[in-house]
A = this chain, B = another copy of it.
Amino acid sequence: MSPKTRMIEVRENVLKQNDIVARALRQRFHEAGVFVVSLVSSPGAGKTALLEKTLALLQPQFRVAALVGDLATDNDAERLARSQAPVKQIITGTVCHLEAAMVQNALEGWRLDELDFLFIENVGNLVCPSSYDLAEDLRLVLMSVTEGEDKPLKYPTIFNSADVAVITKIDLATAAEFNAAAANRSIQAVRPGMTVLNVSAKSAGGMKEFLQFLLSHRAAAHAVASPG
């Protein structure tokens, strides 16, 4: 057996283990009535900036919290903590994605039933996070207008594993000569019918629609959870 084959087999074991943890976690989220949204993207696409803005805008009305993953530093947690929302940093060391068990550990000491929204910011990576279920209700894949319109074609798995595509930094669209039609074509080629939202955390452009989208999906999840 070659080293390559063994690596794949072992990885499959780790994945199965992750699915077991994720299933239990999903059940807990469900029972607590917390709506869980995860964010994946390449490094620097603006996950933390979008989250900062989102926490600030939701907080007057909703109880929100966030977990943020990075290989090193707690810079993102520090940034998000300014919102006064509960925030925890998950340091992954050399691991290029979050796993359900890391989420589970980070939640220790938090009362989930006191939360309306939990956001999970994954490590900046367009490959590794795609196969790990974090028990989220909604997975957002972000791409910024400066990254190139063909990113979905080059990283199809992560776009396929996500529920929604969010184009970020639209305030830079003109300066970056962003071609929105081409980007949309790439997204639809990989995942036909995928919802695409446009936001700028800096100018707040598109944030109203983005929040509306989150709220309506949370409402829909609750309607399913407690029919009648």
Chain A positions within 8 Å of B, measured between CB atoms, are 3-4, 6-7, 10-11, 13-14, 17, 42-45, 70-73, 75, 94, 96, 123-128, 143-144, 146-148, 150-151, 153-157, 169, 172, 175-176
Q: Given B45, B124, B146, B154, which contacts A172 in the complex, CB threshold below 8 Å?
A: B146
Using known A-B contacts A14-B4, A176-B172, determine if residue A71 contacts B124 with beta carbons closer than 8 Å: no
Offer 14 A-B interface pairs, CB within 8 angstroms, sorted by A. A42-B43, A43-B148, A44-B143, A44-B147, A70-B154, A71-B156, A72-B156, A73-B153, A75-B154, A124-B126, A125-B127, A146-B172, A172-B172, A172-B175
Quick check: B44 and A75 within 8 Å, CB to CB?
no
- Docked Cα-Cα span, A203 to B72, in Å, equals 34
A122 to chain B, nearest CB (A): 12
In the complex, chain B residues whose CB is within 8 Å of the CB of A125: 96, 125-127
B126 close to A94 (CB less than 8 A): no
CA distance A146 to B147 in the complex (A): 9
Q: Are A146 and B96 in contact (CB under 8 A)?
A: no
Question: This chain: how many copies in the complex?
Answer: 2
Quick check: B96 and A127 within 8 Å, CB to CB? Answer: yes
The residue in chain B whose Cβ has the minimal distance to the Cβ of A92 is B127
In-complex Cβ contact of A42 among B44, B94, B128 (8 A)? B44
Cα-based distance from A150 to B70 in the complex (angstroms):
12
Contact of A3 among B14, B154, B175 (CB under 8 A): B14
Query: What 14 new A-B contacts, CB under 8 Å, besides A3-B10, A42-B42, A172-B176?
Result: A3-B13, A42-B43, A42-B124, A43-B126, A43-B154, A44-B143, A44-B144, A71-B155, A72-B153, A96-B96, A96-B125, A124-B155, A146-B172, A146-B176
**In the complex, residue of chain B having the shortest beta-carbon distance to the beta carbon of A15:** B3
Once the chains bind, are B73 and A154 in contact (CB under 8 Å)?
A: yes
